Chains A and B, each alone.
Chain A
Amino acid sequence: MTETQNSPAVQTKGRQNRSTARKRNIVVRLRHLPVFSLIILAAVIFVGVFGPYFAPHDPVESNLMDAYTPPFESREYILGTDHMGRDVLSRIMGGARISLIVGLTVVFIAGAIGTLFALVSGFFGGWWDTLIMRLTDTFLSLPYLMVAIVMAAVLGANVRNIIIVLCVIGWAGYARVLRSEVLQLKEADFVRLAVTAGCSRTKIMFKHIFPNIINTLVVLATLQLGVTIIAEASLSFLGMGVPPPNPSWGLMLAQGRDYITYAWWLCVWPGVAIMLTVLACNLLGDWLRVRLDPKFRQI
């Protein structure tokens, strides 16, 4: 570089420094990511969305000649086959889709209902509060298996009804936890300041209070995702969820239970799938809890 270009060179150097600093920052951020959770969840989501296109077999196609193939023995059935000769790997891939559909839908709908109720209950107080909180108490004390059995008996056991049951039960938890946050925030000085600035009540509720409970909401939702996946598995296990022959992790556990003495893999693989997914959800929730605190953002 010649001397005449000295000053632009200095400028570029400064710019380079800044960009390397930014790169380093990204590296630091990446290092703090919950790699395990993200890999597991990414895999579950990928398989849930695209599974049917590259699954080695049709998850409901039975091939009695190959029944009870143990895992890792045949190249065609890596995780083995069940009592009807269905490929366990393909069924787990299919089960991921059902778990995801149920989990995400329930978390979304129950979260929305619960948050709305929490805001109204906590912010408006009075009659609204009493009404909504007694309703919450009632729903929290409903035994969800009983409700599910009744629903399955009346409406029939299918994915839509599982979602309805789990939503009916699920919103109350959000409402209870978030309401206490709203109550606290309602008395906060910044809310009073917004009132003195001429904000209307609805605007305060959605613009000032809601963003402050999003952190808790996201953490609750990730934890709820795990709980919902387990609940779906339990319902399917009990025969009140996804009807056979559809692949569902809970249903696979239930069917595998009968053969556990000589075909361990029928229970172990879906069990592992449930455990890893739920664990990943919970770890992600834990990481988000710390990460979403605005005080942590600058680090």
Chain B
Amino acid sequence: MAKTILEVKDLQTYFFTRRGVVRAVDGVSFSLNEGETIGLVGESGCGKTITSLSILRLVPQPAGRIQGGQIIFEGEDLLQKSEAEMRQIRGAKISMILQDPMTSLNPVFTIGEQVAEPIRLHQKLRKILVWDKVREILGLVKIPSPEVRMREHPHQMSGGMRQRIVGAIALSCQPRLLIADEPTTALDVTIQAQFLKLINEIQRELNVSMIMITHDFGIVARVCDRVAVMYAGRIVETAGIRELFNHPHHPYTKALMDSLPKVEKKVDRLYSIEGQPPDLRDIITGCAFAPRCPRVMDICRRQYPPQSTVEEGHHLSCWLMAGQGGANG
């Protein structure tokens, strides 16, 4: 049994705006083992990014607030930590890769200085050792001739190379958890594949756990061990990667899969889910997906479905399954 590195329990992150409370993350729970990758999948605005920012305690201030729940990282609740303690964790134990490599690097510093920064912040090393480390990490992310490249500025690099450097910054202190927020959205397809392969390799080498935030099932299939499908601030279904692709149970997961283009089935029009995701300012009674669900029942509109287990590691919240498989929530 692998060690659990992160456990998120009933996380609630709300935004208090002038026009009401936005329940961006409303009771998200999941856990992550050492060296494992979990994919957070869902439409934009479903709370994927806010979940990850909550883990780092970087919810946009002053409107956002973590309202409840626990985030247990290496046995300690991050929500009980002080800001200074969190700074010790950010970049050293948990680090993040952002979406757009073109703007993630500071244009006035050389690559080397930027990779060195987290090392300097978190480890007391002698100058020469820092540069050795920078060189080593740039080699790890396969930057050709790191000795030369670390003296260059970001504008002298291509997008793919910059994203690898962002990866190098994230990995520079050998974190235990890496959060990648749509790291390949801004890259073209061939570079995407290359980058994902690289991330997988490094992950295995350093035994890092990873949260991969994406809306692309192709990426999920390639890098993740488990998937959590989010809708309107909640996780509606979570399962191992094979299980989810072979037997999706939740109508929303099925709808997402159906809206992917497939090679073997030629269709005139791709399937699209009717309607819009709900406004998270409204108080939603029952299942948030009910208004768009093709198999909606009366009870769906009245009460949120309890979590049921299809099999070991495959959970979902849907009334369709509530009768079968044994409810446990």
Q: Interface of A with B (CB < 8 Å)?
A: 188-190, 192-200, 208, 211-212, 214, 294-295, 297-298
Contacts and interface: CB of A to CB of B under 8 A. Distances in A.
Nearest to A197: B91
Given A193-B166, A198-B121, A295-B155, 15 more contacts: A189-B103, A190-B106, A193-B98, A196-B95, A197-B91, A198-B87, A198-B91, A198-B118, A199-B117, A208-B106, A211-B106, A211-B108, A211-B109, A212-B108, A294-B108
Contacts of B106: 190, 194, 208, 211-212
Contact of A197 (B105, B117, B153): B117
Contacts of B316: none
B169 interface: yes
A298 B110 CA distance: 13
B164 to A, nearest CB: 14
A296 B98 CA distance: 27
A193 B169 contact: yes
23 contacts: A189-B99, A190-B104, A190-B105, A192-B98, A193-B96, A195-B58, A196-B90, A196-B98, A197-B95, A197-B118, A197-B121, A197-B169, A198-B88, A198-B90, A198-B118, A198-B122, A199-B91, A199-B117, A199-B121, A212-B106, A212-B108, A294-B108, A294-B153
Interface string B99-117: 1100111111100000001
B82 to A, nearest CB: 13
Interface in B137-157: 153, 155-156
Interface of B: 56, 58, 87-92, 95-96, 98-100, 103-109, 117-118, 121-122, 153, 155-156, 166, 169
Most chain B CB inside 10 Å of its own CB: which residue of A194, A211, A212: A194
Contacts of A193: 96, 98, 104-105, 166, 169
A280 B179 CA distance: 52
B259 to A, nearest CB: 29
A213 B272 CA distance: 46
A205 B119 CA distance: 19
B107 A294 contact: yes
B153 A189 contact: no
Contacts of B91: 196-199
Nearest to B179: A196
A129 B87 CA distance: 25
A238 B91 CA distance: 60
A196 B180 CA distance: 12
B90 A195 contact: yes
Nearest to A297: B153
B155 A196 contact: no
Contacts of A214: 108
A295 B154 CA distance: 10
Contacts of B166: 193
Contacts of A212: 106-108
B114 to A, nearest CB: 8
A197 to B, nearest CB: 4
A74 B155 CA distance: 60
B162 to A, nearest CB: 11
A199 B98 CA distance: 16
A197 B103 contact: no
Contact of B89 (A189, A194, A198, A199): A198
Nearest to B84: A200
Contacts of B122: 198
